[in-house]
Amino acid sequence: MLDAAQTTDVQAETLLEVNNIEVIYNHVILVLKGVSLTVPKGGITALLGGNGAGKTTTLKAVSNLLHSERGEVTKGSIKYRGESVHESDPAVLVEKGVIQVMEGRHCFEHLTVEENLLTGAYTRKDGNAAIQKDLELVYNYFPRLKERRRSQAGYTSGGEQQMVAMGRALMSRPETILLDEPSMGLAPQLVEEIFGIVKDLNEKEGVSFLLAEQNTNVALRFAHYGYILESGRVVMDGPAAELRENPDVKEFYLGMSDEGRKSFRDVRSYRRRKRWL
């Protein structure tokens, strides 16, 4: 099994280190209350949790996209390869090799698929030939995009748009991709396909992932390590294989318990008595 083999070499070099950060929106709304996590080189790290747990905010804090949404990191530190990145521009991070694929795809609707991909290479300075080569690489991973390269991205399907967003990120030659809810609004079969590609990219291209996902089941199957967020705090973390077997995770996030599946009503009442913190 994949994760059993991978958990042993998680001790690899640490790329991203988030240390006890607090994020406040609009100067008043406290969203993250001390989140710490590390992303090792070559791993797929999953960030799990329900709506409003703070997954997206954590990713945006790392990629520095918070500023344009009136959010700011007020405490803690974010380091990439040992360097503090928390006050820098998103462009600086992209140049360092960290790029975010945002939740809900965010393609450039009126640009063609190929133009979308090319915008991903905006910060690159290694010449047109190298960019064209990577374009072929992206088309290799997403053959469907090649067929649709001349269509406006706004007219492609949800799955294709997710591929455009991921391909666009790949065009920046990233070391780490912050992938936010890739499964959102996609059919289960497509979700498998997308995660399969994530795994391929991880194994063949050596891209590390920090993956925020509500679909705990799928995420824990593909990830090596997982963090579970609840109300802006990390409440549990561990190798993906262990998390999958943890009875609480089973109960709260996989919808299973020792007595088998419970009805939604029971789960809710049970949840009120037993919470993470």
Which residues of the chain form contacts with another protein (CB under 8 A)? 63, 65, 68-70, 89-91, 93-95, 99-102, 106-111, 115-116, 118-120, 122-123, 152, 154-155, 165, 168-169, 172
Nearer to another protein, 6 or 162 (CB): 162
Question: 257 in helix, strand or coil?
Answer: coil
DSSP labels, 71-136:
EEEEEEEEEETTEE-TTS-HHHHHHHTEEEE-TT----TTSBHHHHHHHTTTT--S-HHHHHHHHH
Angstrom distances, CA of residue 127 to CA of 78, 133, 146, 172, 233: 31, 10, 22, 12, 43
Nearer to another protein, 128 or 263 (CB): 128
Taking the complex as a whole, the smallest distance from the CB of residue 75 to another protein amounts, in Å, to 23
Nearer to another protein, 66 or 198 (CB): 66
Nearer to another protein, 20 or 119 (CB): 119
Beta-carbon neighbour count of residue 136 at 10 Å? Answer: 9
Task: Give dist(CA 50, CA 55) in Å, integer.
Answer: 9
Taking the complex as a whole, the smallest distance from the CB of residue 88 to another protein amounts, in Å, to 11
Taking the complex as a whole, the smallest distance from the CB of residue 41 to another protein amounts, in Å, to 21
Taking the complex as a whole, the smallest distance from the CB of residue 6 to another protein amounts, in Å, to 28
Locate 272 and state its tokens: 């009120």
Taking the complex as a whole, the smallest distance from the CB of residue 221 to another protein amounts, in Å, to 27
Nearer to another protein, 76 or 97 (CB): 97
Taking the complex as a whole, the smallest distance from the CB of residue 173 to another protein amounts, in Å, to 12
Question: 29 in helix, strand or coil?
Answer: strand
Task: Give dist(CA 161, CA 172) in Å, integer.
Answer: 17
Nearer to another protein, 37 or 170 (CB): 170
Angstrom distances, CA of residue 246 to CA of 8, 54, 211: 19, 22, 20
Nearer to another protein, 69 or 245 (CB): 69
Angstrom distances, CA of residue 125 to CA of 46, 170, 208: 31, 15, 22
Taking the complex as a whole, the smallest distance from the CB of residue 99 to another protein amounts, in Å, to 7
Reported in sequence order, the residue ranges of 181-260 that DSSP labels E, i.e. its strands, are 208-213, 225-230, 233-239
- The phi, psi pair for 266, rounded to 5°, reads -65, -45
